[in-house]
Structure 1
Amino acid sequence: MTRPNPVAETNRAAREMTAQRRSGPPWAGMGMPAEKSLAFGPSARRLLRRLAPERLGVVAVVVLGVLSVGLSSVGPLVLGRATDVIFAGVIGRQLEPGTSTEAAAEAARSAGNETYANVISGAGVVPGQGIDFALLGQVLMSVVVIYVVAALFSWLQGYLLNGVVQRTIFALRRDVEDKINRLPLSYFDRQPRGELLSRVTNDIDNVSQSLQQTLSQLFTSLLTIVAVLLVMLLISPMLALVAIVSIPLSLLLSRAIMARSQKQFVAQWRHTGALNAHIEEAFTGHELVRVFGRRREVEAGFAEKNEQLYGASYLAQFISGIIMPSMMFIGNLNYVLVAVIGGLRVASGGLSLGDVQAFIQYSRQFTQPLTQVSSMINLLQSGVASAERVFELLDADEQVPDPERPAVPQTRCGRVVFEDVSFRYRPDQPLIEHLSLTAEPGQTVAIVGPTGAGKTTLVNLIMRFYELDAGRITLDGADIAAMDRATLRSGIGMVLQDTWLFGGTIRDNIAYGNPAATEEEIVAAARATYVDRFVRSLPDGYDTVIDDEGSNVSAGEKQLITIARAFLADPTLLILDEATSSVDTRTELLLQRAMAALRTDRTSFVIAHRLSTIRDADLILVMESGRIVEQGTHDELVVAGGAYAALYESQFAGAVADPD
Structure 2
Amino acid sequence: MQSLLRILRFTKELRGHYIAIIAASTLTAVAALTVPFIIGSATDVVVEALAGDRTQSDAIRAVLVLAGAFLAIELFSTAVSSVGGYVGDVMSARMREILSTRYYEKLLSLPQRYFDNELTGRIVSRLNRSITEVTNFAKSFANSFFTMLITTVAVLVISAWYAWPLALLLLIVFPVYMWLTAITSKRWQTHEAVKNEDIDIAGGRFNEVVGQIKVVKSFVSELREYRYFSKRYERTVATTRKQSTHWHGMDALRRGVMAVIFFGVYAIIFTYTVRGLFSVGDMVLLVQLVSMARQPVTMMSYIVDSAQRAIAGSRDYFEVMEIETGEETPIIEQARREPGTGHARALDLYEGPALVFENVTFGYEDDGNVLDGVSFSVAKGERVALVGESGGGKTTLINLLLGLYPLREGRIAVAGADVAAMSLHQLRSRIGVVFQDSSLFSGTIRENIGYADEAAGEDEIVAAAKKANAWEFIARFNGGLDAVIGERGLKLSGGQKQRISVARAILKDPAVLVLDEATSALDTRSERLVQAGLESLMADRTSLIIAHRLSTISTVDRIITLRDGRVDEIGPPAELAQSGGIYAQLLALQDEGTHAAKKKLRGYGIER
| TM-score (norm. length: structure 2) | 0.90
Aligned to 2:606: none
Give the residue type in structure 2 aligned to 1:454.
Answer: G
Aligned to 2:142: 215
Give the residue type in structure 1 aligned to 2:521.
Answer: S
Aligned to 1:56: 16
In the alignment, structure 1 residue 576 sits paired with structure 2 residue 515? yes
Aligned to 1:75: 35
Give the residue type in structure 2 aligned to 1:89.
Answer: A
Structure 2 SS opposite 1:622? strand
Aligned to 1:508: 447
CA distance in 2, matches of 1:194, 1:264: 21
Give the residue type in structure 1 aligned to 2:455.
Answer: A
Aligned to 1:460: 399
Aligned to 1:425: 364
In the alignment, structure 1 residue 134 sits paired with structure 2 residue 61? yes
CA distance in 2, matches of 1:412, 1:276: 50
CA offsets 1:451-510 (integer angstroms, 9 cap, x no match): 110000001111111111121111111111111111111111101111211122212211
Give the residue type in structure 1 aligned to 2:388.
Answer: G
User: Contact 1:50 / 1:168 at 8 angstroms: preserved in 2?
Assistant: no
Q: State the Cα distance separating 1:324 from its structure 2 match.
A: 5.5
CA offsets 1:553-609 (integer angstroms, 9 cap, x no match): 112211111111111211110001010113222332344344334322211011123
Aligned to 1:543: 482
Of 179, 197, 206 in structure 1, the residue corresponding to residue 124 of structure 2 is 197
Equivalences for residues 106-505 of structure 1 within 5 A: 132-317=59-244, 319-321=246-248, 326-400=253-327, 401=329, 411=348, 415-427=354-366, 429-505=368-444
Q: Quick one: structure 1 residues 339 and 184, their matched pair in 2 at CA, closer, same or farther if it must change by over 3 Å? A: same
Residues matched between the structures, number: 587
User: Contact 1:448 / 1:623 at 8 angstroms: preserved in 2?
Assistant: yes
Give the residue type in structure 2 aligned to 1:385.
Answer: A
CA distance in 1, matches of 2:355, 2:133: 48
Give the residue type in structure 1 aligned to 2:17.
Answer: G
Q: State the Cα distance separating 1:327 from its structure 2 match.
A: 4.9
CA distance in 1, matches of 2:141, 2:522: 56
Equivalences for residues 542-621 of structure 1 within 5 A: 542-621=481-560
Structure 1 SS opposite 2:578? helix
CA offsets 1:403-458 (integer angstroms, 9 cap, x no match): 99999958556700112221121445122122110100111110111111000000
Runs of 4+, deviation exceeding 6 Å: 128-131, 403-408
| TM-score (norm. length: structure 1) | 0.84
Greater shift in the superposed pair: 128-137 or 529-538: 128-137
Q: State the Cα distance separating 1:287 from its structure 2 match.
A: 1.4
User: Contact 1:61 / 1:157 at 8 angstroms: preserved in 2?
Assistant: yes
CA offsets 1:74-130 (integer angstroms, 9 cap, x no match): 220232111112222223x3xxxxxxxxxxxxxxxxxxxxxxxxxxxxxxx57x989
Structure 1 SS opposite 2:522? coil
Q: Quick one: structure 1 residues 51 and 317, their matched pair in 2 at CA, closer, same or farther if it must change by over 3 Å? A: farther
Structure 2 SS opposite 1:512? helix
Give the residue type in structure 2 aligned to 1:81.
Answer: S
Give the residue type in structure 1 aligned to 2:361.
Answer: S
Structure 2 SS opposite 1:442? coil
User: Contact 1:423 / 1:430 at 8 angstroms: preserved in 2?
Assistant: yes
The gaps in structure 2 that reach 5 residues or longer are 604-608
CA offsets 1:510-548 (integer angstroms, 9 cap, x no match): 122223333333222222222123223334333321111
User: Contact 2:495 / 2:530 at 8 angstroms: preserved in 1?
Assistant: no
User: Contact 1:492 / 1:575 at 8 angstroms: preserved in 2?
Assistant: yes
Give the residue type in structure 2 aligned to 1:440.
Answer: A
CA offsets 1:362-401 (integer angstroms, 9 cap, x no match): 1111011110121222222222212211111111110225
Q: State the Cα distance separating 1:359 from its structure 2 match.
A: 0.9
Q: Quick one: structure 1 residues 402 and 218, their matched pair in 2 at CA, closer, same or farther if it must change by over 3 Å? A: closer
CA distance in 2, matches of 1:207, 1:419: 49
Structure 2 SS opposite 1:446? strand
Aligned to 2:468: 529
User: Contact 2:468 / 2:536 at 8 angstroms: preserved in 1?
Assistant: no
CA distance in 1, matches of 2:168, 2:110: 57
Q: Quick one: structure 1 residues 593 and 145, their matched pair in 2 at CA, closer, same or farther if it must change by over 3 Å? A: closer
Q: State the Cα distance separating 1:331 from its structure 2 match.
A: 4.2
Greater shift in the superposed pair: 135-144 or 637-646: 135-144
CA distance in 1, matches of 2:398, 2:349: 18
CA distance in 2, matches of 1:186, 1:426: 8
Q: Quick one: structure 1 residues 306 and 137, their matched pair in 2 at CA, closer, same or farther if it must change by over 3 Å? A: same
User: Contact 2:382 / 2:543 at 8 angstroms: preserved in 1?
Assistant: yes
User: Contact 1:507 / 1:543 at 8 angstroms: preserved in 2?
Assistant: yes
User: Contact 1:448 / 1:609 at 8 angstroms: preserved in 2?
Assistant: no
Q: Quick one: structure 1 residues 529 and 468, their matched pair in 2 at CA, closer, same or farther if it must change by over 3 Å? A: same
User: Contact 2:356 / 2:375 at 8 angstroms: preserved in 1?
Assistant: yes
